Amino acid sequence: MATDREATPLRHRHDQGWISTASADPDMPALVLGEQLRGDESSHSPAHALETPPFVPFSGHGPSTQISQSLDQIDGHYAQLFGGSSESDPWLLRHCRFDKLGLRRFLKVHFRTAGGVPTRDKIPAHFMISKNNVCKGAMAETRISGEKDFRTELARLVPPECGPRLVQLFLTHVFPILPVLSRSQLGLTQTQGTPDIHCLAAIPTHLLAAIYASTLPYALNDDHLDLLYAYEKPSLAKVWRIVYELICEEIHTPHLSLLQAALLYVHKGFEDDQRYASSDTPFIWSFIGSVVGLAHSLGLHLECGLFGIPAQEKRLRRRLWWAVYVEDKFMSLLMGRPPYIHQDEWDVTELQDSDFDVQYSFQSEISSSSTHIPFRHMTRLALIVESIQQSLWSLKASQILAEDLPASLQAAKPLFDRLKAWRASISVPELFPSDQDTNSQSVPASAFTAYNVLVIYIWRALLRPTVMSSPPPQIIDPHEPLQDPGNFLENFRWDFSNIPGGELYFGENVIQTSPVVRELYQAAQTCAESFVDFVSHLSYTNFAEFWFSLQAPSAENAIRAKRTLDR
Q: Are residues 362 and 226 in the same domain?
A: yes
153 with 96, same domain? no
CA dist 50 → 43, 44, 46, 339, 494 (Å): 13, 10, 6, 38, 50
Residues 460-518: tens digit of each pLDDT: 999 999 887 788 888 888 887 766 555 544 443 444 444 333 344 443 333 344 787 88
> Is 546 within the bounds of a domain?
yes
Same domain, yes or no, for 86 and 126?
yes
| Domain co-membership, 154 together with 6 | no
- State the total domains in the chain: 3
Q: Is residue 267 part of a domain?
A: yes
546: nearest Cα among 407, 428, 446, 408: 446
Let me know if residue 530 belongs to a domain: yes
- Examine residue 477 and state whether it is found in any structural domain, yes or no: no
Mean pLDDT of the chain: 78
Domain around 316: 143-376
Residue type, 66: Q
What pLDDT is stored for residue 501 in this prediction? 36
Q: How far apart are CA 238 and CA 503, in angstroms?
A: 55
Q: Is 98 among the domain residues?
A: yes
Instruction: Answer with the one of 132, 151, 177 that is the final residue of a domain.
Output: 132
Asked if the structure places residue 482 within a domain, the reply is no
- Shared domain for 122 and 156, answered yes or no, is no
Spatial CA neighbour of 210 closest among 178, 252, 254: 178
User: Is the domain of 97 the same as that of 218?
Assistant: no
Assess whether 240 and 172 both reside in one domain.
yes
Per-position b or e across 360-380, b if 16+ CB within 10 A of its CB:
beeeebeebeebbbbbbbbbb
Per-residue pLDDT tens over the stretch 406-462: 999 999 999 999 999 999 888 654 444 444 444 444 577 788 889 999 999 999 999
For residues 3 and 111, give the distance between their C-alpha atoms in angstroms, rounded to a whole number: 14
* Of 82, 97, 132, the domain-final residue: 132
Please report whether residue 232 resides in a domain. yes
Same domain, 128 and 162: no
Are residue 88 and residue 20 in the same domain, yes or no?
yes
Q: Are 278 and 558 in contact (CB under 8 A)?
A: yes
- Which percentage of the chain shows pLDDT scores above 90? 41
138 in a structural domain: no
Nearest residue to 277 (alpha-carbon basis) of 500, 89, 555: 555
Would you write out the chain's pLDDT as a tens digit for each of its 567 residues?
444 434 444 545 444 333 344 444 443 333 333 333 333 444 444 444 345 444 444 444 566 789 999 999 988 999 999 988 988 888 888 888 899 989 998 877 789 999 888 888 889 999 999 998 889 889 988 998 877 899 999 999 999 999 999 999 999 889 989 999 998 888 886 667 788 888 899 999 999 999 999 999 898 888 888 877 777 888 999 999 999 999 999 999 999 999 999 999 999 877 665 555 567 789 999 999 999 999 999 999 999 999 999 999 999 999 999 999 999 999 999 999 999 999 999 999 999 999 988 765 433 444 444 557 889 999 999 999 999 999 999 999 999 999 899 999 999 999 999 999 999 888 654 444 444 444 444 577 788 889 999 999 999 999 999 887 788 888 888 887 766 555 544 443 444 444 333 344 443 333 344 787 888 888 888 888 887 877 777 765 665 566 555 554 445 555 555 555 555
Q: Do residues 220 and 199 both lie within one domain?
A: yes
Residue 325 and residue 207 share a domain? yes
191 and 124 in a common domain: no
